[in-house]
Chains A and B, each alone.
Chain A
Amino acid sequence: MTTDSVKRAESTPDEPMPFAELGMKQDEYDRVKEILGRRPTGSELAIYSVMWSEHCSYKSSKVHLKQFATKAPKSDALLVGMGENAGVVDIGDGWAATFKIESHNHPSYVEPHQGAATGVGGIVRDIMSMGARPIAVMDALRFGGAHQDDTRRVLPGVVEGISHYGNCLGLPNIGGEVAFDPCYIGNPLVNALCVGLLRKDQIKLATAPGPGNKVVLFGASTGPDGIGGASVLASATFEDESQAKRPAVQVGDPFMEKLLIECCLELYAADVVVGIQDLGAAGVSCATTELAAKGTGGMHVDLNQVPLRDPSLRPEEILMSESQERMMAVVRPSDIPAFMAICAKWDVPATVIGEVTDTGRLVMTWHGETIVDIPPGTAADDGPVYERPFHEPAGQAALNADTPDALERPADLRATLLQLLGSPNLASKAWVTDQYDRYVRSNTVLAQPADAGMLRISEAIAGAEPTTRGIALSTDGNGRYAKLDPYAGAQLALAEAYRNVAVTGAKPLAVTNCLNFGSPEDPEVMWQFAEAVRGLADACRTLGVPVTGGNVSFYNQTGSTAIHPTPVVGVLGVIDDVAKRVPTGFVAEGLRVALLGDTAAEFGGSEWAHVAHGHLGGLPPEADLEAERSLATVLVEAARRGLLEGSHDLSDGGLAIALAEACLARGIGATVALSGEPFTDLFSESAARALVAVRPEAFDEFAALCAEHEVPCYGLGVTGGESLVVQDVLEVPVSELRDTHTGALPAIFG
């Protein structure tokens, strides 16, 4: 078999290369030739095509994402910002947290179980590569209509995949979202978040310094996973013999990943790792080019050393394989024996595949011939950058003009409450979350159905420095709001996550985000994207929380129909004394119930308009970020002083749903009275609001705190009894609320 070596490329300058089949444009291919001063070899083309893909290079989004840095609020908490595998935040007492959310949308549509499972696996390796112990996961999910046929195929598979992989890793699942909308049929969203913990001085980076240091590939062996495009290269061009069509589906092995986690942590503790990188999309190509580009600039790799699951793999395929559960480390030669011994203890195969050099070139050999010889930075950092055209969608003005004002208001508010509470988006997600282990590691302070997940820090790592602190996390996003106004929609996503963290008593500190959109080549989608990024960056500045990292997922569309623009935002907060966390809902009888924040008649994109009328139009609720900030200040301070017995944020479905969920938390009813127009008071989705439960004797102090921060505080009533009573409006036994809330998803999914 002939190998397309550099020598061969030099002597066959005009040989046509299948760059188009690999998704590369003519001008991009011309740039590669210009960089190399010759045509690329097949292996070099493999590297450039994947490194310059949208997924790896962010070529369409880069110019916009810059705002997260240029508009970033000053924050002392940020230890590692965007651009690394994950951001790292200072959480005090010498501790740091690293967290990131990432999409695995398309693979989860093709093979729901494995697609979702490997999504979890990938994000966990990102967190490991920062030097951290992963301590929890979350999952933000969007599916087509709950009653649509394909949803019954996709949802159970996705949930099982997340459940199986996360549970096997021993990572508690502490939160997430499940939402349904027909716009996601054919394009489900599977966004997985992982959070990790490390000491501030133990951060690891993806870098390969020190000529002479060894490059070690460890973990699973390399097979033909997810290399769809590469088979074009391996077969069509150079050889006549036809290769079997390679599978696009990656299969995860959570057991191997669990071993990798423990193995990596022991390697870090033994201080035998100079640089480390996980292998995700673009596998060996990505890890070698990025490590080399950030180190002393050179690396020599012998591809024959890569352990293969399938010995027939060609070098191009090895370079592009997305086999899971692999990591690459840079190790001092003197540390190799210790490194290998730790890998052996954990049954993790490890192989030296190369060496760091100071040549400034990434050189790879195959059976002694040089098949890659490139400046690594040109693949890793100097990818193409597009200023894609964008403009407001043709129908946007009409969409915004079609307000919900004309929709008929319900006569029976009790029936409306039950209708919403039993609708798929608002119903209990226990069918999903009961499949997730939320207890493992015994540090889970709050998990579903709490507004935010919360973990104690002190015991998270055996023998660790004691601290009373905890961290809280929430992810949120509302595609309908973003469809109506992507600028405001992104801000509302941040506001909700920020609020969900604050109601537990934690102070919001930092942001991660996953931006799920249609095709960037559609100027109308690109406008949605640009607006969402602008909105999120502005909101982060106002709220004083920097973006630490994230992920962009484009091409979520079927034909020319894109999903609703769906920015999903994750917020991480810190609580100084985790014992002071505020549980979600009404936890005792006889507590005063108060509503914080003002309510206006805001029904654009609301759950009521969606469920009762199938309507989407008008404008989303106003994103009043100053009000969000004051609200959070009050909630965090009140928790610190021990004034709150329970709380719950208001979001989809408004006050009515918040009251019902608060009653369901412990099966304790409440009697409340409204002061305004009942329908608006109960179902409007105005932002910057929360429900609190306060001991009567603490109420005056709490009200004074609200007044001090100009947060409106309305006493609504008191907890207790067997029913939720809204005086003169409705009364529903808690048991009926429960049946409606918990029965909905099992009735659909079995």
Chain B
Amino acid sequence: MSAARVGVVTFPGTLDDQDAARAVRLVGAEAVPLWHADHDLKGVDAVFLPGGFSYGDYLRCGAISRFAPLMEELIPAARAGLPVLGTCNGFQILCEAHLLPGALTRNASLHYVCRDQRVRVESTDTAWTNAFEQGQEITLPVKHGEGRYVASAETLAEIEANGQVVFRYVGGNPNGAMNDIAGIRNEAGNIVGLMPHPEHAVEELVGAPSTDGLGFFTSILKKLVNA
């Protein structure tokens, strides 16, 4: 059987694409580079939208990227069930593209923040978190200036009621996000977005002092192999 193929998208200004691809390979999957200007998903089984400053984060984070040719392919595919993970800038793009509800705004501190953050896994019922335990606390780095999750009162109530909150900050909220929300999913659970960076927590030697990020990649592998 050929290895699971996970697409890793590069926009102009994407920064964590190599890191994401490395993490995909670490669990034995194939990382397929996807280029923003192509109308081509290359038949991948899942897509990782990595962090960075696509288009310089000018205007609003993710606002310009959402219109890229690749996104014209990705948006309908995701709606149809393709597993998609967006971290940081990738999360912002997913919200701007209305694949996930709400929006990400300037940190309440008004400062960029890079730190090792504890988060609690609130939903294991997704393509990207099925290898975690419900309620498990993991450590992942956050690094962003605009990561404060906001949504209207109705939306917030709805995603809480539906169990769409996937990750919550614990031990301090780095950006002032509503309800300490660090990550959410769509109703179907194939699309997940979060501010923390699993791809920086997969090796002992480098990155954050944890390898908790590996769970994301083993989750998607499990999901694809079982599918």
Asked if the two chains touch in their complex, CB atoms less than 8 Å apart, one says: yes
Seen from chain A, the residues whose Cβ lies within 8 Å of a Cβ on chain B are 160, 163-164, 167-170, 253-256, 258-259, 346-347, 433-445, 456, 459, 462, 578-579
Q: Does B153 interact with chain A (Cβ within 8 Å)?
A: no
Query: A258 — nearest CB in chain B belongs to which residue?
Result: B13
Query: B209 — nearest CB in chain A belongs to which residue?
Result: A666
Cβ–Cβ contact B53 & A167, under 8 A: yes
Q: A255-B58, A440-B16 are in contact. Are A435 and B53 (CB under 8 A)?
A: no
Cα distance, A169 to B199, chains bound together (Å) = 18
Cβ–Cβ contact B16 & A168, under 8 A: no
Q: How far is the CB of A22 from chain B (nearest CB, A)?
A: 35
Cβ–Cβ contact A442 & B53, under 8 A: no
Cβ–Cβ contact A442 & B200, under 8 A: yes
B-side contacts of A168, CB under 8 Å: 13, 53, 56-57
Cα distance, A458 to B138, chains bound together (Å) = 28
Query: Within B112-156, which residues are at the interface with A (CB < 8 Å)?
Result: 112-115, 141, 143, 145
B-side contacts of A456, CB under 8 Å: 205-206
B-side contacts of A256, CB under 8 Å: 56
Cβ–Cβ contact B114 & A255, under 8 A: no
**Most chain B CB atoms below 10 A, which of A346, A436, A442:** A442
Q: A255-B53, A462-B18 are in contact. Are A439 and B13 (CB under 8 A)?
A: no
Cβ–Cβ contact B111 & A442, under 8 A: no
Give the contacting residue for A255; candidates B13, B141, B143; CB below 8 A: B13
Q: Mark B4-21, 1 if CB is under 8 A from A, else 0.
A: 000000001101101101
Q: A168-B13, A347-B12, A435-B114 are in contact. Are A442 and B19 (CB under 8 A)?
A: yes
Cβ–Cβ contact A439 & B56, under 8 A: no
Q: Does B52 interact with chain A (Cβ within 8 Å)?
A: yes
A-side contacts of B208, CB under 8 Å: 439
Q: A255-B58, A258-B13, A347-B12 are in contact. Are A439 and B22 (CB under 8 A)?
A: no
Cβ–Cβ contact B207 & A435, under 8 A: no
Cα distance, A168 to B57, chains bound together (Å) = 9
Cβ–Cβ contact A434 & B114, under 8 A: yes
Cβ–Cβ contact B206 & A445, under 8 A: yes
**Most chain A CB atoms below 10 A, which of B57, B141, B205:** B205
**Most chain B CB atoms below 10 A, which of A253, A433, A443:** A443
Q: A164-B112, A456-B206 are in contact. Are A441 and B53 (CB under 8 A)?
A: no
Cα distance, A438 to B197, chains bound together (Å) = 12
**Most chain A CB atoms below 10 A, which of B114, B145, B202, B208:** B114
Q: How far is the CB of A42 from chain B (nearest CB, A)?
A: 36
Cβ–Cβ contact A444 & B114, under 8 A: no
Query: Within B48-75, which residues are at the interface with A (CB < 8 Å)?
Result: 52-53, 55-58
B-side contacts of A434, CB under 8 Å: 111, 113-115
Q: How far is the CB of A432 from chain B (nearest CB, A)?
A: 10
Cβ–Cβ contact B114 & A436, under 8 A: yes
Q: How far is the CB of B71 from chain A (nearest CB, A)?
A: 17
What 8 new A-B contacts, CB under 8 Å, besides A437-B114, A440-B16, A441-B18? A167-B53, A167-B145, A258-B53, A346-B12, A436-B112, A440-B143, A442-B22, A443-B206
Cβ–Cβ contact A437 & B143, under 8 A: yes
Cβ–Cβ contact B56 & A442, under 8 A: no
Give the contacting residue for B207; candidates A170, A259, A439; CB below 8 A: A439
Q: Does B45 interact with chain A (Cβ within 8 Å)?
A: no
Cβ–Cβ contact B112 & A435, under 8 A: yes
Q: How far is the CB of A655 from chain B (nearest CB, A)?
A: 27
Q: How far is the CB of B47 from chain A (nearest CB, A)?
A: 19
17 contacts between A and B (CB under 8 A): A160-B112, A164-B145, A167-B53, A255-B57, A255-B58, A258-B53, A258-B56, A433-B114, A435-B112, A435-B113, A435-B114, A436-B114, A437-B114, A441-B15, A442-B19, A442-B199, A444-B207
B-side contacts of A440, CB under 8 Å: 15-16, 19, 143, 200
**Most chain B CB atoms below 10 A, which of A167, A258, A440, A443:** A440
Cβ–Cβ contact B205 & A578, under 8 A: yes
Q: Mark B196-227, 1 if CB is under 8 A from A, else 0.
A: 01011011011110000000000000000000
Closest 10 interchain pairs by CB? A255-B56, A170-B15, A442-B19, A439-B200, A168-B53, A437-B143, A435-B112, A437-B114, A163-B112, A439-B141
Cβ–Cβ contact B203 & A442, under 8 A: yes
Query: Within B1-40, which residues are at the interface with A (CB < 8 Å)?
Result: 12-13, 15-16, 18-19, 21-22
A-side contacts of B114, CB under 8 Å: 433-439
Q: A168-B57, A255-B12, A255-B53 are in contact. Are A445 and B205 (CB under 8 A)?
A: yes
Query: B51 — nearest CB in chain A belongs to which residue?
Result: A440
A-side contacts of B112, CB under 8 Å: 160, 163-164, 167, 435-437
A-side contacts of B199, CB under 8 Å: 442
Cα distance, A85 to B157, chains bound together (Å) = 57
Query: A444 — nearest CB in chain B belongs to which residue?
Result: B206
Cα distance, A255 to B200, chains bound together (Å) = 22
**Most chain A CB atoms below 10 A, which of B57, B112, B197:** B112
Q: A163-B112, A168-B57, A258-B53 are in contact. Are A441 and B12 (CB under 8 A)?
A: no
Cα distance, A164 to B144, chains bound together (Å) = 10
A-side contacts of B141, CB under 8 Å: 439
Query: A347 — nearest CB in chain B belongs to which residue?
Result: B12
Q: A255-B56, A456-B205 are in contact. Are A439 and B143 (CB under 8 A)?
A: yes
Q: A167-B112, A435-B112, A440-B143 are in contact. Are A259 and B12 (CB under 8 A)?
A: yes
Q: Mark B168-188, 1 if CB is under 8 A from A, else 0.
A: 000000000000000000000
Cα distance, A456 to B22, chains bound together (Å) = 14
Cα distance, A444 to B203, chains bound together (Å) = 11
Query: A459 — nearest CB in chain B belongs to which residue?
Result: B22
Cβ–Cβ contact A255 & B15, under 8 A: no
Cα distance, A459 to B18, chains bound together (Å) = 9
B-side contacts of A346, CB under 8 Å: 12
Cβ–Cβ contact B205 & A170, under 8 A: no
Q: How far is the CB of B175 from chain A (nearest CB, A)?
A: 12
Give the contacting residue for A170; candidates B21, B52, B200; CB below 8 A: B52
Cα distance, A253 to B197, chains bound together (Å) = 25
Query: B204 — nearest CB in chain A belongs to which residue?
Result: A579
Q: How far is the CB of A145 from chain B (nearest CB, A)?
A: 22
Q: How far is the CB of A327 from chain B (nearest CB, A)?
A: 17
B-side contacts of A254, CB under 8 Å: 53, 56
Cβ–Cβ contact B206 & A442, under 8 A: yes
Cα distance, A459 to B199, chains bound together (Å) = 14
Cα distance, A442 to B13, chains bound together (Å) = 17
Q: How far is the CB of B107 from chain A (nearest CB, A)?
A: 11
Give the contacting residue for A442; candidates B12, B52, B115, B207; CB below 8 A: B207
Cβ–Cβ contact A435 & B12, under 8 A: no
Cα distance, A434 to B53, chains bound together (Å) = 18
Query: B19 — nearest CB in chain A belongs to which residue?
Result: A442
Cα distance, A737 to B134, chains bound together (Å) = 36
Cβ–Cβ contact B205 & A579, under 8 A: yes
Cα distance, A434 to B142, chains bound together (Å) = 10
Query: A462 — nearest CB in chain B belongs to which residue?
Result: B18
Query: A253 — nearest CB in chain B belongs to which residue?
Result: B56
B-side contacts of A170, CB under 8 Å: 15-16, 52-53
Q: How far is the CB of B164 from chain A (nearest CB, A)?
A: 27
B-side contacts of A258, CB under 8 Å: 12-13, 15, 53, 56
B-side contacts of A444, CB under 8 Å: 206-207
Query: A156 — nearest CB in chain B belongs to which residue?
Result: B111
Q: How far is the CB of A270 from chain B (nearest CB, A)?
A: 17
Q: How far is the CB of B112 from chain A (nearest CB, A)?
A: 5
A-side contacts of B12, CB under 8 Å: 255, 258-259, 346-347
Q: How far is the CB of B117 from chain A (nearest CB, A)?
A: 11
Cα distance, A255 to B56, chains bound together (Å) = 5
